Structure 1
Amino acid sequence: MAAGGNFRQIKPNVWKWDVAGKGYSLKKYDSYEVAAKVRRIHKELEKIGFAHALPVIGAADERTVIQPWLEGARPADYATRSGRGRTLAVLKALHATSAVFDWTSVPGMRSYPLIAKWEDRLERFRSRRKELEPYIGSQAFETTVFHAEEALKAIRKSYDPDEGCTLLHGDVVHHNFLKGNDGRFVLIDFDLACTGPPGTETALWIHRVLPHVGYDFDYLAGEHPSLARLSRSSLDLILYPNEILREWLYLLSLEEEKRTVLAGRLVRYTEKALSRWIPLCYQVTQSGK
């Protein structure tokens, strides 16, 4: 780790480093390969002039990345129209960088294994039924599995993993979009960055946003017309209940006391989502026709 200044641990692998009146983020990775990939991504984005990423300014060793600390930054709010619009615009700008750089040439960059990942997620969910049912209930469990299986049938037929291959951030949760004091949004944490179709990441962003618009895809597409023009390969991804599966599997990773606290919120979240999933699927399947 770099010497001098004051360090404050923010996460298990992230520190804020204050030195000479300036703040920096120091992140340490388990893998040399991932750290090198992240540094290379930022280097190429800086060359291109991409305005929505922080520069890498150094490294304490081969597994660390040092960047400026964005003082006063706030995570994006997907519950607001402006938050949705600004983050979608950042994603589009990121995906457009493939016009000037071949991201597949970056060492350590892998293609996004969407179908394999989602099949595995569903299988893990299904295999832990006995642990989950006391929390989620048998009907909600079976309904979630049904929608996931039906979605995968459509996805296997329509998904094109090479459709407009570009750089994908890999984790479009709201707190990876930070709004600085100047109003500019930046993307942070490119740890999971990979290559794949831009529509894949747009669909993953839609999954994150849908709870904030009542699972009303038509409303969201009315707000952002480009979403209605997504390819069938991308649209079919919206049919998969990805967030429900992911959240319940996360619950099983927690200790018993924490599970009980989270379960109540997840039950309400799941009930709301499943009550609107069939209308959502209808809207998505009718889009683009």
Structure 2
Amino acid sequence: MMSNTSEGDFKRNRLFFEANQAFGFYHPKVAALKGHIFLVESLGASWVIKGYDDEERALRQLNIAKALKQEGFSKGLTYQRFPSGKYIVYGQGLYWLCMEQLQKRREVHFRSSKDRQGVSELLHRFHKEARQIQSLDLPAYALLSHWERRFDRFTKSHSLSQFNEALGGHTTKALLKAGDEALDRLQKEPLREMEKKAVRQKQWIHRDTASHNFIIISENQYYLIDFDLASTGPVGYDWLQLATRFLPWLDWSFAALAEEPYFAPYMDQSWFLAGLLYPSDVYRDWHVSQQKKSHRSIQWFLKMHSFEKRLRFIADVRKTLG
């Protein structure tokens, strides 16, 4: 997706990439994709260039890709040397990586049962093969503290009254209650022990299982990209997040989710059910819609979520929890 970058910005980007000899580009054509991500074409070749504000983060992405490939996980990103021969180039306050351009055949969409299955199989394979990696340690992820911060930010937001006005008092109260109840239940679950075990067992999680982070380059050939949030943690955390991505396309049906491959082992685990109560996506999307530079509006937010079905789903989860 092209960003709303002005013609002047495009010219400055081209001049930057051309002038910095550390890249090694010759008269490049530059297109902004999003954020600090650019498509660069030069001498008949094309690359995707991504900038990081921290050298350690850039190096971690490079090492993640290398480690996964060494273990046989070929369905992820491959980083390449710049034409200059360097893997990481510093410029304009950012550390830049160069990756292969994967040619998408079509978009992945979770409304498709075939795509849900393909994505699930790929995520399972990522978890399995990442466990073999002993040479690289990723930051440990603590789910409860992350969700507590998100809930606190949401409840203290100056726009909460606007949220209440858009959704109505009943729905607002129900979503706040669900979040509070989920956190209360999760505090009683052995999440810390699970997370420590995950560190010992070298369990990796992706942590951003949105559909746009899966690419189809040919029929049945799914790729997993964007490991910026990759961490050490229980693999069930990825399945919990993916469940909230699938559920809008499963009509928020608890029974339908249980029938999806790879979810069955979690459907009777109390921590997973408590996690399903927590409307993390609602809090996140509302926050995004309130950002000044965001192209996402309140209308987008309301269109994205089916609150009546969501509240029925929450009731079903509560019934299962007892």
Secondary structure, counterpart of 1:90 in structure 2: helix
- Does the alignment pair 1:167 with 2:204? yes
The equivalent residue for 1:189 is 226
The equivalent residue for 2:12 is none
Q: Deviations along 1:126-172, whole A, 9 cap, x unmatched?
A: 11222422222222111101011111122111223234441111211
The equivalent residue for 1:19 is 42
2:131 to 93, 99, 112: 99
Identity of aligned residues (%): 22
Q: CA 1:183–1:236 in structure 2 vs 1: closer, same or farther (change >3 Å)?
A: same
How big is the shift at 1:83? 0.9
The equivalent residue for 1:47 is 70
Q: Which amino acid aligns with 2:60?
A: K
Given that 1:135 and 1:263 are in contact with CA atoms closer than 8 Å, whether structure 2 keeps it comes out as: no
Secondary structure, counterpart of 2:99 in structure 1: strand
How big is the shift at 1:264? 3.8
How big is the shift at 1:255? 6.4
1:269 to 306, 310, 313: 306
- Does the alignment pair 1:68 with 2:100? yes
Secondary structure, counterpart of 2:263 in structure 1: helix
The equivalent residue for 2:271 is 233
Moved more, 144-153 or 232-241: 232-241
The equivalent residue for 1:213 is 250
- Does the alignment pair 1:85 with 2:117? yes
The equivalent residue for 1:149 is 180
Given that 1:215 and 1:277 are in contact with CA atoms closer than 8 Å, whether structure 2 keeps it comes out as: no
* Alpha-carbon distance in 2 for matches of 1:200, 1:135: 31
Secondary structure, counterpart of 1:170 in structure 2: coil
Q: Which amino acid aligns with 1:198?
A: V
Q: Output the TM-score relative to the length of structure 1.
A: 0.88
Q: CA 1:228–1:37 in structure 2 vs 1: closer, same or farther (change >3 Å)?
A: same
How big is the shift at 1:232? 3.6
* Alpha-carbon distance in 2 for matches of 1:222, 1:258: 33
Secondary structure, counterpart of 2:188 in structure 1: helix
The equivalent residue for 1:127 is 156
How big is the shift at 1:36? 0.9
**Ranges in structure 2 where 5+ consecutive residues have no aligned partner:** 1-16, 18-22, 82-86
Given that 1:200 and 1:237 are in contact with CA atoms closer than 8 Å, whether structure 2 keeps it comes out as: no
Q: CA 1:145–1:227 in structure 2 vs 1: closer, same or farther (change >3 Å)?
A: same
Secondary structure, counterpart of 2:252 in structure 1: coil
Moved more, 194-203 or 131-140: 131-140
* Alpha-carbon distance in 2 for matches of 1:47, 1:86: 22
Q: Whose RCO is larger (CA < 8 A, sep 6+)? A: 1
Q: Which amino acid aligns with 1:222?
A: E
Q: Output the TM-score relative to the length of structure 2.
A: 0.80
Q: Deviations along 1:49-108, whole A, 9 cap, x unmatched?
A: 1021021112351511111111234332111111111111111111112431137x43xx
Q: CA 1:49–1:9 in structure 2 vs 1: closer, same or farther (change >3 Å)?
A: same
**Ranges in structure 1 where 5+ consecutive residues have no aligned partner:** none
How big is the shift at 1:223? 3.1
Q: Deviations along 1:19-39, whole A, 9 cap, x unmatched?
A: 333322111111212111111
Q: Which amino acid aligns with 2:33?
A: I
2:288 to 245, 250, 261: 250
Larger Rg, first or second structure (1 or 2): 2
Given that 1:75 and 1:176 are in contact with CA atoms closer than 8 Å, whether structure 2 keeps it comes out as: no
Q: Which amino acid aligns with 2:195?
A: P
- Does the alignment pair 1:115 with 2:144? yes
Q: CA 1:121–1:57 in structure 2 vs 1: closer, same or farther (change >3 Å)?
A: same
